[in-house]
Amino acid sequence: MLSTFVSFATCALLVSAAPTIIPKYQLQARDTGQIEPGNTPVLGQQPDFAGDVTRCEGYSVDSVTSTSTGGLLASLSLLTECNAYGTDISSLRLSVEYDTPTRLHVHIYDSALHQYQVPDYVLPRPSSTSNGEGAADRSGLKFDYEENPFTFWVTRKEDNAILFDTRPSNIPTYKESTQIQGNYSNYTVLPAHPLVFEDQYLQISSALPTDANIYGLGEVIAGSGYRRNSSATVQTFWARDVGDPVDENMYGVHPMYMEVRWSESCQKLMSHGVFLLNSNGMDTILRDGVIQYRAIGGTLDFYFFSGPAPNDVASQYAQAVGLPQVMPEWSFGFHLCRWGYTSVNDTRTTVRRMRDAGIPLEVQWNDIDWMRAYREFQYDQNFQPAEYKAFVDELHSMNQHYIPIIDAAIGKPTHDIFDVYSRGHELDVWMKNPDGTEYVGAVWPGFTVFPDWFNPNMQTVWTEAFYNFSQVVDFDGIWLDMNEPSSFVDGSATNSTIPIEDTTVVPPNYTPTGPPVDYPEGYWPNTSGLSGNLTIDGRLTYGANGTAPKNEALRRSYTVELPIEKRQTDGYVPKIPYVDEPPYPIRNQAGRLSAKTVSPNATHYGGLEEYNVHNLWGTMEEIATHNMFLELKPGLRPFMVARSTFAGIGRKTAHWLGDNYSTFAYMKRAIQGVLQFNLFAIPMVGPDTCGFNGNSDEELCNRWMQLSAFFPFYRNHNTKLAISQEPYVWDSVRDASIKAINARYALLPYWQTLFAKASQWGEPVIQPLFHQFQSTDYLSIDSQFLVGSSLLVTPVLQPNESSVTGLFPSSDGTFWVDWWTHARLDTSSRNGENITLDLPLGNIGVHIRSGSILLLYDQPEYTITETREGGYSLLVVLDDEGCAEGDAKVDDGYSYPVHEQTCLTFKATSGCLSSCDQGNFNVDQNLKSIVLVGVWNKPGWITLNGHDIDDSQVEYDQTVGRVKIAGVEGDLNNGWELKWA
């Protein structure tokens, strides 16, 4: 939940007032007469570093050793002392490894191995498959370099395209700033492009095409959409608790991007990927023709992925950082939560109202209301253990599931005993101040300590706490929030003059003092009332005092905005000279690095400082929680949803898009978020449906409930004191939700198949159009998206509208069939692929790609267990040649790891539909029905494995060319053949 509701005036007493940060890239006229980055010290605490990268000349190559696989190891020496924003490191190493035919690993690091590197236990390094001689020859990538000064470039052999090029002569410089969202546009000054490698400042640049098509570099809500603004972007990597701002740093850190170019030589779109494995604070700047990285520590550990297809890049990245975890089938159901279910009875009443309304509910959640004084693992008086346990057991008896929240910080008691704190204190697992005392911040419980995930005893404390909790609450999943980590005070309370017992600083069990007043654009509660209803006395409430602009830029104004060692092997722990205020202040929109989080000088086990590992904090918690699941629920697929993430953690967790807002703009922005995390190999992702902050209304919630039914993670959640937005509140939302959830539950075998493929090969589940279709026209489209390769979703994203225009690719004879009616979409009009859909409220555009075969559940029911027990159906959409194909991966939906799985392969051609199976999982449920779309003459006969199908089992609709065959009762464990003529 959002912590920015809090405004503690007294918190300023804990630390001195935060100074204004002056970026070193402030424009100043220097003695040279040029406009260059300034050298104004940030706080006057550091030596007067030059603040001028134009003085830096980079490094030269001293010696080179070729490896047996075609890679190289080299030594680099500093050419001229620079000291721009730190102390120069004079001796570097370069390692180049051809890991696989599609992946190249280039690592520039300090010879002394004193700079921090992300350990393997946090992100396991990918293994190399290029053993033996000739790896470089077999690779699709080629590494070249110049010796003095050292520069390098990476070329893709297939089209001879230079993908990454650090030669300054090929990179434009910018000595004037350009306007960007937020503060400090001067960060966009790029006066020179040398390689800079200092203890607290690393810089490297690469040439890009002008107006490059860049995707990734997150987590971010980009004002430009899923495609990044390549001429004016500063992406900061510093995990931050903030309510979904636009073009600012936020919860997660994923320094990976994919670039897409049109290749004239290949006559197709060609894609590649670049990943910088570095956990330190960092800015990445995009301007026309250049990308520049500026990190405040670590090393330059690059992975390059050759593609060339976008899905290839996503898969290659996933295989490098870790394939996504296979998810339990129940997690694909509909989830419901709100901050404000203040008792077991409140929560139980909601579950019953959902059932009475006939809205399928798979998972019920609770926010921090269940906690005593907001302390994790202690029960509020309205969540007494016996009653709490009975409620969760009741859910399980109805085949439903339960997830509670766990916030990151642990309450520090002042007048009582808190067993989790005491146990952690006993084993010495809480983060420390530099003097060795416990670091004390403040979050919802009041004063708090923070788990040190690097301490080997922390896992014991964490698992014990969950074990004790599980004796009362048999949770099915866990929600990890506030794990940037968030703190409401700047600095450690133990370093202040305010006694920790003074609860006026941060009152325990804090509750917002007033309800949010914002509604979606155009809804005027003073005129229309506070209900959020679509109509009052039969009149539309939207736009009662004027309508919202359709222009996205204006809409945003309505929102709140190797002989050589490469790794440390001797236990060396880096010490940061200017840990609180680094000489180069990254563009952290919160201000100081310590703002709203743990200070960078806080220490972990062995003296490791938060400065280096801040961006890993959430990931470390997720690893510990995953390990807890494996111990307490062995053999079951863990399920957790976390806020702060780092590269590669999709192998352990799902993610939700944070504390968004109840506006149409944020509904649309959810699409770019889902696309982004599918690129980051965290495919189980979705927003707070209907919005978290502020009041939703009937129209917005109607549209959003249907949209989110086609996102991987599907949860409705809102903030305390906002009006209720459960889908039963409005009749139209209830009906729209039932329709969308029924479609989702029918499609569950398809979802399971997509996630099985993601966990095996890394292919993204949710994809933009250009992942499947070769056209530059699709590169900026994020108002539509594909689920796998076969479903195209086209939602209405504007208020007060009942139609929407979308792009429906028709290359190579592709056409689209309506999911709801099976009618073929007509793309023969003069507008070609631009088609306007009639979608009145309660409807969403969903179309099936021609030539697709989808395994479905035959009859959606209230829960997934009941739906699964009802057996399967097969939907076949024939192309104009009468052909189609598809596959499905089937397992039990819960076992971990997956040892038993069967792949079903379906193929239709020339009036024959066949199935074959391969695998070791026995599919208990039968195939109940088959639907063929695209049969334009009523069949005279139909046979299954040579036996006639009775006419009473067959229904034919000439208008859409559809044949429905009921009562099939086919065994999916054996091959079969259906014929018709």
Query: Residue 696 and residue 690: Cα distance in Å, rounded?
Result: 6
Task: Write the pLDDT tens digit of every residue in 236-256.
Answer: 999 999 999 999 999 999 999
- The average pLDDT across 781-805 equals 97
Query: Residue 254 and residue 243: Cα distance in Å, rounded?
Result: 18
Q: Is 509 exposed, middle or buried (0-12, 13-18, 19+ CB in 10 A)?
A: middle
pLDDT at 535: 67
Task: Write the pLDDT tens digit of every residue in 916-950.
Answer: 999 999 999 999 999 999 999 999 999 999 999 99
Query: Residue 229 and residue 222: Cα distance in Å, rounded?
Result: 8
State the helix-helix crossing angle for 419-427 and 458-470, rounded to 10 degrees. Answer: 160
Query: Residue 471 and residue 844: Cα distance in Å, rounded?
Result: 43
DSSP 546: B
- The average pLDDT across 775-803 equals 97
Query: Residue 320 and residue 275: Cα distance in Å, rounded?
Result: 10
Q: Is 228 exposed, middle or buried (0-12, 13-18, 19+ CB in 10 A)?
A: buried
- The average pLDDT across 620-628 equals 98
* Of 642 and 528, more confident: 642
DSSP 730: S
768-980 CATH:
2.60.40.1180
- The average pLDDT across 686-714 equals 98
* Sign, Cα dihedral of 449, 454, 456, 460: positive
Query: Residue 720 and residue 367: Cα distance in Å, rounded?
Result: 10
How far is CA 761 from its chain centroid?
18
Q: Which of 666, 702, 700, 706 shows the shortest CA–CA distance to 845? A: 706
DSSP 776: G
Q: Is 87 exposed, middle or buried (0-12, 13-18, 19+ CB in 10 A)?
A: middle
H helix intervals, 562-697 = 610-613, 617-632, 664-679
Q: Which of 88-102, 127-141, 232-246, 742-756 has the lowest mean pLDDT?
A: 127-141
Topology, domain 329-512+572-749: TIM Barrel (3.20.20)
Task: Write the pLDDT tens digit of every residue in 4-29.
Answer: 333 322 222 222 222 222 333 332 22
659 belongs to the catalytic site: yes
pLDDT exceeds 50 at position 865: yes
Q: Six-digit token pair at 343?
A: 């008792």
> Catalytic one among 241, 283, 380, 484?
484
Cβ atoms of 380 and 372 within 8 Å: the answer is yes
Query: Considering the chain, what is the average pLDDT of its residues?
Result: 90
Query: Residue 588 and residue 250: Cα distance in Å, rounded?
Result: 9
Query: Residue 555 and residue 557: Cα distance in Å, rounded?
Result: 5
Cβ atoms of 109 and 295 within 8 Å: the answer is no
DSSP 190: B
Task: Write the pLDDT tens digit of every residue in 405-462.
Answer: 999 999 999 888 999 999 999 999 999 999 999 999 999 999 999 999 999 999 999 9
Kindly list the distances between the CA atom of residue 242 and the CA atoms of 6, 557, 659, 669, 772, in Å, as whole numbers in the listed order: 12, 18, 8, 16, 34
Cβ atoms of 297 and 238 within 8 Å: the answer is no
pLDDT at 131: 67
Residue 221 CB neighbour total at 10 angstroms: 24
Kindly list the distances between the CA atom of residue 399 and the CA atoms of 352, 361, 396, 866, in Å, as whole numbers in the listed order: 14, 10, 5, 8
Q: Which of 468-477, 500-509, 930-939 has the lowest mean pLDDT?
A: 500-509
Cβ atoms of 363 and 330 within 8 Å: the answer is yes
Query: Residue 798 and residue 551: Cα distance in Å, rounded?
Result: 10
Kindly list the distances between the CA atom of residue 901 and the CA atoms of 429, 567, 793, in Å, as whole numbers in the listed order: 41, 39, 29
**Type of residue numbered 299:** T
pLDDT exceeds 50 at position 552: no
* Sign, Cα dihedral of 135, 137, 138, 144: positive
Query: Residue 787 and residue 166: Cα distance in Å, rounded?
Result: 37
The pLDDT confidence band at residue 499, using thresholds 50, 70 and 90, is: low
DSSP 185: G
957 belongs to the catalytic site: no
Cβ atoms of 301 and 276 within 8 Å: the answer is yes
Cβ atoms of 656 and 643 within 8 Å: the answer is yes
Q: Is 634 exposed, middle or buried (0-12, 13-18, 19+ CB in 10 A)?
A: exposed
Where b means 16+ CB within 10 Å and e means fewer, 875-890 reads bbbbbeeeebebbbbb
pLDDT at 94: 98
Q: Model's pTM, two decimal places?
A: 0.93
Q: Which of 698, 608, 675, 682 shows the shortest CA–CA distance to 649? A: 682
- Beta-ladder partners of 78: 59
pLDDT at 134: 85
Q: Six-digit token pair at 27?
A: 């424009």
Query: Residue 40 and residue 860: Cα distance in Å, rounded?
Result: 65
- The average pLDDT across 320-327 equals 98
- The average pLDDT across 810-834 equals 88
Where b means 16+ CB within 10 Å and e means fewer, 550-562 reads eeeeebbebbebe
Is 329-512+572-749 in the same CATH topology as 60-321? no
State the helix-helix crossing angle for 731-746 and 698-708, rounded to 10 degrees. Answer: 0
Q: Which of 682, 614, 691, 621 shows the shortest CA–CA distance to 660? A: 691
> Catalytic one among 481, 621, 726, 763?
481
Please name the residues in contact with 605: beta carbons below 8 A apart, sequence gap of 6 or more.
452, 454, 455, 456
How far is CA 489 from its chain centroid?
27
Coil, helix or strand for 741? helix
> Could you tell me how many residues make up the chain?
981
> Catalytic one among 259, 659, 688, 698?
659
Coil, helix or strand for 53? helix
**DSSP line for 609-644:** BHHHHGGGHHHHHHHHHHHHHHHHSTTB---EEESS
Cβ atoms of 674 and 766 within 8 Å: the answer is yes
pLDDT at 181: 76
Cβ atoms of 55 and 82 within 8 Å: the answer is yes
Return phi, psi of residue 315, to 5°. Answer: -65, -45
735 belongs to the catalytic site: no
- Find the helix or strand (DSSP H, E) in which 769 lies: none
pLDDT exceeds 50 at position 563: no
Cβ atoms of 854 and 288 within 8 Å: the answer is no
Kindly list the distances between the CA atom of residue 74 and the CA atoms of 106, 145, 147, 165, in Å, as whole numbers in the listed order: 11, 11, 10, 19
Return the half-sphere exposure (C-beta side, CA atoms, 13 A cut-off) of residue 885.
5
* Sign, Cα dihedral of 835, 838, 840, 843: negative
Kindly list the distances between the CA atom of residue 841 and the CA atoms of 295, 506, 667, 731, in Å, as whole numbers in the listed order: 48, 45, 15, 12
pLDDT at 529: 74
Coil, helix or strand for 180? coil
Kindly list the distances between the CA atom of residue 352 and the CA atoms of 208, 244, 337, 401, 538, in Å, as whole numbers in the listed order: 56, 32, 14, 14, 30
Query: Residue 377 and residue 883: Cα distance in Å, rounded?
Result: 57
- The average pLDDT across 559-583 equals 73
* Sign, Cα dihedral of 589, 248, 292, 200: positive
Query: Residue 602 and residue 834: Cα distance in Å, rounded?
Result: 55
pLDDT exceeds 80 at position 190: yes
Domain range list for the chain = 60-321, 329-512+572-749, 768-980
60-321 CATH:
2.60.40.1760
pLDDT exceeds 90 at position 515: no
